[in-house]
Copies of this chain bind each other. A is one copy, B any other.
Amino acid sequence: MDAIDLSLVDLLRGNARLSYAELARQVGLSAPAVHERVGKLESSGVVLGYRADVAPEAIGLGVTALIGIVEDSGADSDDMLESLRVLPEIESCYFMAGVESFLLKARVGTIAELEQLIVRLNRTPGVASTRTAIALSTKWENRPQSVGPQPA
């Protein structure tokens, strides 16, 4: 992970569809060199994947909610995790410090679907209680912060 790797990561976080040739121009290496570096970043787990950023309302996921989960005393967190992982509506899952062990970000199409999700969560073994906060709007999300040197 030298400065060039950081620049590559920055560039790809900004636009994952840049060609290797373009990346090469930006960092001042040849295309094959960039190709090899990016390949290593991928296989070493630095770059986990490439994703299109899509407006959720446009694909019928207009309701965003953040749900905190309090675990039963004696519940097994690993089992719970597996139960959560199965629910596709849960886009993100954090294990938290504090009373609420998990914090979930969920996206659904309607409030009715959110209700169903919450019911299902409360029925999940190990869940003592849930607390749901609804996002009225997403101002921005997953904005990449630059880590490399400033782009000259």
Cβ B143 vs Cβ A96 within 8 A: no
A147, B145: Cα distance in complex, Å? 28
**Stretch with Cβ within 8 A of B (4 or more), from A25-33, A45-53, A118-126:** A45-53
**A16 touching B85 in the complex, CB below 8 Å, given contacts A103-B133, A134-B96, A137-B94:** no
Do B142 and A142 touch (CB < 8 A)? Answer: yes
Number of identical protomers? 2
- In the assembled complex, which residues on chain B have CB atoms less than 8 Å from the CB atom of A97? 133-136
Instruction: Give A residues with C-beta under 8 Å from B.
Output: 1, 6, 9, 12-17, 45-55, 58-61, 64, 66, 81, 84-85, 88-98, 100, 102-103, 107, 133-147
Q: What are 6 A-B pairs with beta-carbon distances under 8 A?
A: A17-B50, A47-B53, A94-B136, A94-B138, A100-B133, A103-B133
